[in-house]
Amino acid sequence: MEHTLDFAGHRALVTGATGGIGAAIVDILTARGAPVVACDARKAEATSSWFVLLNVRDQASVIQAFDRAENLLGGVCDILVNAAGLYPSDPLIEMTEEAWDRVLDTNLKGAFLTSQQFCRRLVAADRAGCIVNITSGSADRARVGAAHYSASKAALEMLTRSFALEFASQRIRVNAVSPGYVQVGSAVNPLSTAYVEAITRTIPLARAGTPRDVARVVAFLCEDASDWITGASYRVDGGSHAGTLALPLSRD
Ligand SMILES: NC(=O)c1ccc[n+]([C@@H]2O[C@H](COP(=O)([O-])OP(=O)(O)OC[C@H]3O[C@@H](n4cnc5c(N)ncnc54)[C@H](O)[C@@H]3O)[C@@H](O)[C@H]2O)c1
């Protein structure tokens, strides 16, 4: 399936592209024929695409990255995937203002800045396109230490719908993919072994997700086959949101 050329003639920009999920998205879009500009605040060791340094929290950096992408790819991008994100663990009683701002500015404001830049350029070029935002199951399931993260992802779900509505008439589709726990071994977002073991036990399909599990659904949402889908959010979580396995039968 990954060897079709669904995305030939398109141009893609992916944020968070050095990370686990972002890199898998770059790989699948590239394998299916899209030239991709991979953007991240950290340079990748090896990449199958063009790489541009980007801080999504900074509007000047966002404008520069889109300028660079247009030069490298020879025209405006018509696929944007927002995968840059931070998920630190900060209990509310000790959460600093700086920690709050960093998470909200990266996960929420960052996606606003990149999506606005993307849409402005597409509208000026009178072209159709699509955005996929990587949100999280934490958008509607609170967890200790993740108040800033959950708030940012809940707001990103709504930002997805707002962009979808405002740009529908310009044929720009905007959707979200909401992963459950995906094993990435991130240096930026490290997770303790105890947390990983505990969360994995709660997944109905009995395994952690892989970046590829998420990337496949992102690719589907970028295909023409999904051209009547906008403002939607797809859960890719091994069934985590369906309910809890923690409870026994309620009969004796
Ligand atoms: N791994 C999971 O279990 C999981 C679950 C649900 C949602 N997500 C979401 O998936 C996305 C990717 O996460 P991941 O698990 O691959 O983590 P990751 O740490 O491997 O990747 C995140 C990437 O974002 C980049 N980044 C951070 N701040 C940035 C900034 N200001 N500008 C540009 N890039 C920046 C980092 O350098 C990193 O490469 C995130 O939005 C995360 O919230 C992950």
Q: Which residues pair with 108 in a beta bridge?
A: none
In the chain, the number of structural domains is 1
Task: Please indicate, yes or no, whether the overall pTM of this predicted structure exceeds 0.95.
Answer: yes
Distance 249 CA to ligand 1 centre (A): 37
Count other C-beta atoms under 10 Å from residue 248's C-beta.
6
Residue 190 lies in a domain: yes
Helices (H) and strands (E) in the chain, counts: 7, 7
What is the position in ligand 1's atom list of the atom closest to the CA of 105?
31
Residue 161 domain boundaries: 12-234
Low-confidence stretches of the chain (pLDDT beneath 70): 1-3, 47-48
Instruction: Choose the residue to mutate in 59, 103, 134, 217 for probing ligand 1, maximizing ligand atoms within 8 Å of C-beta.
Output: 134
> Does the Cβ of 68 fall within 6 Å of ligand 1?
no
Residue 220 lies in a domain: yes
Distance 84 CA to ligand 1 centre (A): 4
Residue 71 lies in a domain: yes
Distance 18 CA to ligand 1 centre (A): 9
The reply to whether 87 belongs to the active site is no
Identify the residue whose C-alpha is closest to ligand 1 atom 41. Answer: 85
Residue 169 lies in a domain: yes
Residue 243 lies in a domain: no
Residues 6 or more apart in contact with residue 178 via CB below 8 angstroms: 135, 136, 137, 139, 153, 157, 233, 234, 235, 236, 237
Residue 248 lies in a domain: no
pLDDT by residue (tens digit) across 222-244?
999 999 999 999 999 999 999 98
pLDDT by residue (tens digit) across 21-51?
999 999 999 999 999 999 999 998 776 679 9
Distance 251 CA to ligand 1 centre (A): 43
CATH number, domain containing residue 40 = 3.40.50.720
Only one residue has tokens 């108040």, namely: 147
Residue 92 lies in a domain: yes
Residue 245 lies in a domain: no
pLDDT number for residue 252: 87
Q: How far is CA 203 from CA 38, 137, 209, in A?
A: 31, 12, 9
pLDDT number for residue 6: 87
